[in-house]
Structure 1
Amino acid sequence: MARILITRPLPEAVCDAVRDFAEVEVRASTAPMKPAEMRASLTVFDAVLPTLGDAYDAEIFDEVPHPRARLLANFGVGYNHIDVAAARAAGVTVTNTPGAVTDATADIALTLILMSCRRAAEGERLVRSGAWQGWHPTQMLGQHVSGKTLGIVGMGRIGKAIARRCHHGFGMDVVFFNRSPVDDPGVPATPVESIAKVARAADVLVTAVPGGASTRHLIGAEVFEAMKPTAHFVNIARGDVVDETALISALQTGQIAGAGLDVYEFEPEVPEALRALDNVTLLPHLGTAALEVRAAMGMMAVENIRAFLAGETPPNVV
């Protein structure tokens, strides 16, 4: 029977599904794996189910040139923590879990849009502090979302899901930038040729691109300079897509009105300068944090493992 390592605690139904066809070890820690653990995982197990933060980089594969493990069935759609080329060179297949995360991540984008524009996090802190003096007509005036312009950087599954919610739910106009042509954005939407042009047009700018070297610091000072001083920025992609220092400066100086973040450049470290700002909403990477969603992600990873062990091509090879 094949031996499988699950690197973080997952919903029990997911672990039980793997136990139906393999011997399973579930790592108890919720922290990312250390290099020694990753090297051991490649030598002891037939397949590994890793997730965000388990940095299977080229150095790990260099140190284990002939791994027993032939599959990394990543739990999550993003896999920039895995060097796929190095894995492939070592004879290791990498899979992910697309689709299962789309709606949940889009919902968090909407949460952040509303919280940032309507100053909800700031208001919640005010009430908890005991300093709220009661309602008055000019208290904490934010920005109305309905009828405004949404700018999206990255019009893939998640970008399209955000566009649908904003267009149909709030009557927002949609402009977007995507590196490749988009045949059907799903709603009336205008493609533009640069991120800066999207930034200039948008009342709310949302990033929904994959992580990785090609998108690192895709959003930096020049993008924030292009945005309106009344505009809000939302990131539900990967933390290093954004130059966090440039974002902090834009928020501190009033270059943009506010931001909503679910991810961070050096996660889980969040700079004190960012935490000190009232005009930013900070969530602890809640993008897919719903039991049904995490279970669906896990079951997709299980199906990738099951197919691989049966000698079939897994459904979600990257």
Structure 2
Amino acid sequence: MASSGVEEQEPTAVPPLLLFRLPPILLFRRVDAAFYAALRQRYRVLDFFASGDTLPAFLAAAAADPDPPRAAVVVGGGAVRVDAALLDAVPSLRFVFSTGAGVDHIDLHECARRGVAVANSGRVYSTDVADHAVALLIDVLRRVSAAQRFVRRGLWPVQGDYPLGNKLGSKRVGIIGLGNIGSLIAKRLEAFGCVIYYNSRRQKDSVPYKYFPNVHDLASESDVLVVACALNKDTQHIVNKDVLEALGKDGIIINIGRGANVDEPELVRALKEGRIAGAGLDVFENEPKVPAELLSMDNVVMTPHIAVFTSESRADLRDTTISNLEAFFSGKPLLTPVLPW
């Protein structure tokens, strides 16, 4: 091959700043392979859990990057809280996406003060959580899980018929938090013939249900209390000893909100002492730790914070996450923005 007359040289390293680089994002959530691949096709993913670093070291490295990240994907209930300390550590951040509907792990006022936009999963999980809440309630009332254990232990031929459960129809159901999820729960329970009451931050003129301005009065008029509100300073332990007393010995608690919406020690005591009839719990105050006393109670149905998880919602969450990130990086309105309380 003829020489061009120019001596070939070994390629030299190109300074990183001259390389085309995908926008970097911080990832504070373990995601499945398809979700991870979709993120990596579009972004340079700085993965906290894959890094093996402590949080301070990880944030320091991200902040020192020649192209520091402007966006972060976080998960509720995890080890990372988006607060002043995190925003100080990575001052380049201008957008935070929470992969859950709850944003109690994000200081919304601090983000707003610094011009950091926030979005969440929006309505991705709403139908799944509403379905799960109804499933928990039916299970508690009809003793489905407890009856299954009765059959599996071989007790049916020995002890005879299982004790009677209770019907769902005609129950007075008080819903704490009539947002997207609470409204869907109400719609489902209406179809079963339940009477719906609610408490929310404000009365809603668009619904026919009776409004109660405080949770104590709601509980006193309800057979079932469904916790479907966000967790914030106003709703921490919104279900306390007095509310449980008002609900009464035939009452049932369903919690698909946040564990800390309910005073858990008081709930355990009320169940042990027969001051309420049962509970269906998908969330707990100190997850994944569950009070040991609950484990042996047949009138308590528990799931490991899975109300949001279906194969369909996983795919929808992936799409919603990426759509919000793309909107942020292209300067367009976010799809599911969250405003300060």
Does the TM-score normalized on the shorter chain lie above 0.5?
A: yes
Do structure 1's residue 129 and structure 2's residue 153 form an aligned pair?
Answer: yes
Distance 1:191 1:42, change over 3 A: farther
Unaligned runs of 5+ in 2: 1-21
Corresponding residue to 2:169 among 136, 146, 150: 146
In 2, the alpha carbon distance for the partners of 1:314 and 1:236 equals 26
Identity value in percent:
32
SS in 2 for 1:213: coil
In 2, the alpha carbon distance for the partners of 1:183 and 1:110 equals 25
Corresponding residue to 1:47 among 67, 71, 82: 71
Structure whose alpha-carbon radius of gyration is higher: 2
In 2, the alpha carbon distance for the partners of 1:193 and 1:88 equals 29
Please name the residue that 2:226 is paired with. 206
In 2, the alpha carbon distance for the partners of 1:300 and 1:189 equals 31
Pairing of 1:295-310 with structure 2 (within 5 A): 295-310=315-330
SS in 2 for 1:86: helix
SS in 2 for 1:301: helix
In 2, the alpha carbon distance for the partners of 1:175 and 1:212 equals 22
Do structure 1's residue 235 and structure 2's residue 271 form an aligned pair?
Answer: no
Structure 1 residue identity aligned to 2:177: G
Please name the residue that 1:101 is paired with. 125
In 1, the alpha carbon distance for the partners of 2:322 and 2:172 equals 40
Please name the residue that 2:109 is paired with. 85
Deviation sequence 1:85-134 (CA, Å, 0-9, x none)? 23334443221111111100001101110111111222223333344436
Distance 1:238 1:28, change over 3 A: same
Pairing of 1:1-318 with structure 2 (within 5 A): 1-26=22-47, 35-36=55-56, 39-40=59-60, 43=63, 44=65, 45-52=69-76, 53-58=78-83, 60-61=85-86, 63-64=88-89, 67-133=91-157, 136-137=160-161, 139-168=162-191, 170-185=192-207, 188-318=208-338
**Does structure 1 conserve the Cα–Cα contact (< 8 Å) formed by 2:48 and 2:58?**
no
Alpha-carbon distance, 1:307 to partner:
0.8
Distance 1:63 1:75, change over 3 A: same
Alpha-carbon distance, 1:11 to partner:
4.0
Alpha-carbon distance, 1:164 to partner:
0.5
Deviation sequence 1:269-290 (CA, Å, 0-9, x none)? 1111222322211100011110
SS in 2 for 1:69: coil
Indicate the larger mover: 54-63 or 112-121.
54-63
**Does structure 1 conserve the Cα–Cα contact (< 8 Å) formed by 2:128 and 2:308?**
yes
SS in 1 for 2:42: coil
Distance 1:219 1:275, change over 3 A: same
Indicate the larger mover: 105-114 or 269-278.
269-278
Alpha-carbon distance, 1:60 to partner:
2.6
In 2, the alpha carbon distance for the partners of 1:201 and 1:165 equals 20
In 1, the alpha carbon distance for the partners of 2:79 and 2:329 equals 22
Distance 1:135 1:183, change over 3 A: farther
Structure 2 residue identity aligned to 1:4: I
**Does structure 1 conserve the Cα–Cα contact (< 8 Å) formed by 2:282 and 2:306?**
yes
Structure 2 residue identity aligned to 1:21: R
Structure 1 residue identity aligned to 2:196: V
In 1, the alpha carbon distance for the partners of 2:262 and 2:130 equals 18
Deviation sequence 1:246-276 (CA, Å, 0-9, x none)? 1011101111110000000111111112223
Structure 2 residue identity aligned to 1:172: C
Deviation sequence 1:191-226 (CA, Å, 0-9, x none)? 123212221222211011001222100001111101
In 2, the alpha carbon distance for the partners of 1:37 and 1:241 equals 33
In 2, the alpha carbon distance for the partners of 1:176 and 1:267 equals 27
Structure 1 length-normalised TM: 0.89
Alpha-carbon distance, 1:75 to partner:
0.6
Deviation sequence 1:128-155 (CA, Å, 0-9, x none)? 3344436845x22221111221111111
SS in 2 for 1:114: helix
Alpha-carbon distance, 1:58 to partner:
3.0
Flag the structure with more relative contact order, 1 or 2, with Cα contacts below 8 A and sequence separation at least 6.
1
SS in 2 for 1:223: helix
In 2, the alpha carbon distance for the partners of 1:63 and 1:212 equals 23
SS in 2 for 1:111: helix
